[in-house]
A = this chain, B = another copy of it.
Amino acid sequence: MTNYDKKYESNDKYSLRGRVFQKLREDILSGKYKEHEELKEVAIGEELGVSRTPVREAFRQLELEGLIKIVPNKGAYVTGITAKDVKDIYMIRSLLEGLCARLATEKITKDQMEEMEENIYLADFHEEKGHLDQIAELDNKFHDILYEACDSKLLEHTLRDFHRYVLRVRQKTLATNTRGRASNEEHRQIMEAIKAGDASLAEKLANQHMINAYDNMVKNGLKEIYGDNTGEKKEEK
């Protein structure tokens, strides 16, 4: 039960490092810092009123989250996320979310099951009201519950990383189309398969859920946003 809070333990929001970390992550995901932009320790530090030490430590964490790239003795740069990266991630997630659903079928607790049902119920409500922010948040939450329910520390960790990594893209697309409804319906099917103890079905549905999510993103202009090439930072400045 304290498990949900546990993932924020390291990003302790009452330490300076934790606050810097969360602030920078927020700013990168929200697009305040653009791709390939250089983050300078002193500048960030002065802006937040702290010294370089907590900034540097936050940088190390941001790098392992894949949000920035640190080049020794040079600097920290916001990492770009290409269309191919997104595609790769959804391929990987399709398999792993499937595995996660399969494992969760055996391991899910009563509390987690109820939380999942509540999530879907709430999502229906906000869907009808057109509350886009809440829908996005509940979508994230659904997957978090699933990750926790599979009872595999490592799988949970891996999926969370990928999930977070595509968050910038997902928020854009979820907020600008009508997939919220379909997505929640797929969540419901996954939930019911798990509830019924049908692990194979849950796995298949979760596989397909990711494929659908990706197809939808492509339809809604992923390429225009992030470019359809797969690398080579040619432009900038």
Chain A residues engaging chain B, CB cutoff 8 angstroms: 1-4, 8-10, 12, 14-15, 18, 53, 56-57, 60-61, 63-66, 69-72, 79-82, 84-85, 88-89, 91-92, 95-96, 99, 107, 109, 151-155, 157-158, 230-233, 235, 237
Number of copies: 2
Q: Which residue of B lies closest to A87 (CB)?
A: B152
Are A88 and B154 in contact, with the CB atoms below 8 A? Answer: yes
A53 CB contacts on chain B under 8 angstroms: 53
User: Would you give the shortest CB distance from A148 to chain B, in whole angstroms?
Assistant: 13
**Residues in B whose Cβ lies below 8 Å from that of A3:** 80, 231-233
- What residues on B are CB-neighbors of A65 within 8 Å? 64
Pairwise interchain contact B152-A88, C-beta atoms closer than 8 A: yes
In the assembled complex, which residues on chain B have CB atoms less than 8 Å from the CB atom of A70? 10
Q: A10 with B95: in contact, given A2-B84, A81-B1, A237-B107 (CB under 8 Å)?
A: no
Asked if A82 and B1 sit within 8 Å, CB to CB, the answer is yes
Q: Which of B2, B4, B82, B152 contacts A2 (CB 8 A)?
A: B82
Min Cβ gap A130→B in Å is 34
Sample of 19 further A-B pairs with CB below 8 A, known A1-B66, A3-B231, A60-B60: A1-B79, A1-B85, A2-B85, A3-B233, A10-B69, A10-B70, A15-B72, A57-B60, A60-B61, A61-B63, A85-B153, A88-B152, A92-B99, A92-B154, A92-B158, A95-B96, A107-B237, A151-B235, A153-B231
